[in-house]
Amino acid sequence: MLIVVTFVTFALKLTPLAFNLFPYQSRWLPYAIVIFGSIVGLSLFLAKESEVISYMGDDPKTCVNCHVMTSEYNSWMHSSHREMASCNDCHVPHDNVVNKYFFKAKDGLYHASVFTMRNEPQVIFMKEASQEVVHNNCIRCHTQQVTDTKLSSWIENHDANRTDRKCWECHREVPHGRVHGLSSTKYTLAPIPTDVKKDIIPEWLKEAIKK
């Protein structure tokens, strides 16, 4: 809020100067300056609090900034994909840079709106566009395991039979497993902070252990 107050104060100080520069617009100009300063200040404040710069990188910890992807993050951490792929390697298109960041922005705004309205589902499922992106990335990384050049030359529809179907029709537990609802990791912190000693054991469990 300090940023907002600073911008409003600065805008008010500019008001007398604005009267001299724009005498015919003096009626609405002060209000416009205050509103504009408030919007800019509030935007900067929200950008700082939401750590918006971190979403430009590939750190998987960014995905749990909103504390909704806890189960997905934990299941990825315990999978073999952790050694080779981050969240963006699977969930963001890699055909070109523009499409990559456009998709990240579009998907991120959708996730942010759902989280802000507290409308996240108990179990998260990918939308059709996200499914297509993930499927293409599966093929991109595992193309040698999925298709065979020699077989493609004499088996009809070899590539299509192996790439048209979604990979998770067979590999259902890769990499997030089947149990990944919000309630399955209700009391788990992800990532677990190393510099903060916080008791994450619920009170009901402590009482049960004592009994």
Q: Which tens digit of pLDDT belongs to each residue from 87-103?
A: 999 999 998 999 999 99
Percent of the chain at pLDDT > 70 equals 76
Please write the tens of the pLDDT for every residue from 183-205: 666 556 566 554 545 565 778 87
Q: Is a pLDDT exceeding 70 seen at residue 13?
A: no
The whole-number average pLDDT for the span 123-149 is 87
Q: Is the domain 56-206 a CATH 3.40.50.720 member?
A: no
For 107, counting Cβ atoms within 10 Å of its Cβ (0-12 exposed, 13-18 middle, 19+ buried), the class is middle
State how far the Cα of 197 lies from the Cα of 55, in Å rounded to an integer: 26
Q: What's the rounded Cα separation, in Å, for the pair 7 and 39? A: 9
Tokens of 149: 């050049």
Residue 20, CA distances (Å) to 15, 35, 134 in order: 9, 20, 58
Q: 117 to each of 52, 110, 112, 121, 174, how far by Cα in Å?
A: 18, 11, 9, 12, 30
CATH 1.10.3820.10 in the chain is located at: 56-206
The predicted model scores a pTM of: 0.65
Q: Which residue in 197, 180, 205, 199 sits closest to 68, CA to CA?
A: 180
